[in-house]
Amino acid sequence: MSAYPKIGITMGDPSGVGPEIIVKALREMSADQRSASTVIGNLGLLERADRLVGAGLTYVDVLEGASGGVVPVVHVPTKDESQIRDGVLTAAGGEAAYRYVVKAVELALAGRIAVIVTAPLNKGAMHAAGHRFDGHTELLAHLTGAKSSFMLLASEKLSVVHVSTHVSLRGATQRVTTERVLGTIRAGNEHFKALGYAAPRIAVSGLNPHCGEGGIFGTEEIDSINPAVAQAQREGIDVKGPISGDTVFFRALKGEFDLVVAQYHDQGHIPTKLIAFDETVNVSLGLPIRRTSVDHGTAFDIAWQGKASHANMRAAVAYARRMSERTPAKAAA
């Protein structure tokens, strides 16, 4: 048996690049790491992806007991598998991706796997299959019964946790409440302390230009963000803000902060993807399970051609192994 904690990798939408980037990442692992990396998906498609990239690995339909570099696979059969098409959005592909995640959550909640690593799914395909979730984070919160969850984008250069993600810009401004901002600060602080930071240095971004200029450009900073920062400071968290969004990420990149709290999706995603596109890992906070993910989509346009980069999958697995050495994050209040 491997000495490594078991990582569960979901295949994502089988019409996309998930299968091939998983196989490429597995190929680069040591034998022990490979046998501790259970793939949750379709055994036949995984073997097909292996032939596509010429990895020459061995796969077996078993959760535990693999060794010597053999890859354990939890095969999850789904309906209408014959309707799945390479590089094409289908309800069958969305259903398969959904069921892979459901199975992975079941195994994680039972303690059978330490961390889930997710390959990309397609929101349109999942919606076509009748599963109306806006992405992995929302689906995982639903499956685990978490009251709230937070998206962290992490890299060696810059890490950002978001107050809101997959909502309209109008909806995002409405989510900038003292409770939600404070919850985001707490979740980020807890995660970084679990990674070994004694006192994570956290910066909170403003929502409005120049943090509202004392209310001239908006009052969210005065009404919601300032009180959240003040309460977090009273709790002993090393947090500053709000700091204008046009300077806070630069200051973090230069080493002043370990983590930035962004107020909405694009405010946090644009700088992280600009600075470290291939290395940035998507991490879910506030759940009773641990999960990392690639930070890119299904890339239907290049799927099943053998040319998709697995750099982000490799980074997601590495971060998952780092997390597996620590105490699991608790569900957010």
> Rounded to whole angstroms, how far apart are CA atoms 93 and 116?
20
Same domain, yes or no: 257 and 181: yes
Same domain, yes or no: 169 and 249: yes
**By residue range, what is the domain housing residue 4?**
1-149+286-333
Mean pLDDT, 10 residues at a time, over the chain (333 residues)? 75 97 97 94 96 96 85 92 94 96 96 94 95 88 91 95 93 96 97 93 97 93 97 98 97 97 97 91 93 93 96 94 66 34
Same domain, yes or no: 14 and 125: yes
Same domain, yes or no: 314 and 176: no
Q: In this structure, what CATH number is given to the domain that contains residue 218?
A: 3.40.718.10
Same domain, yes or no: 275 and 300: no
Residue ending a domain, among 284, 309, 324, is 284
Rounded to 5 degrees, φ, ψ at 25 are -70, -40
Same domain, yes or no: 224 and 264: yes
Tell me the torsion sign for CA atoms 267, 271, 276, 278: positive
For residue 210, give every residue at least 6 positions away whose Cβ sits within 8 Å of its Cβ, in sequence order, or none.
Answer: 217, 244, 246
Closest listed residue to residue 13, CA positions, set 116, 84, 80, 73: 84
Same domain, yes or no: 329 and 242: no
Same domain, yes or no: 223 and 302: no
Same domain, yes or no: 129 and 161: no
Number of domains in the chain: 2
The pLDDT value given to residue 326: 64
Same domain, yes or no: 213 and 166: yes
Same domain, yes or no: 30 and 124: yes
The alpha carbon torsion through 134, 139, 140, 142 (nearest 10 deg) reads 120
The pLDDT value given to residue 66: 82
The pLDDT value given to residue 139: 92
> Rounded to whole angstroms, how far apart are CA atoms 179 and 212?
20
Same domain, yes or no: 90 and 136: yes
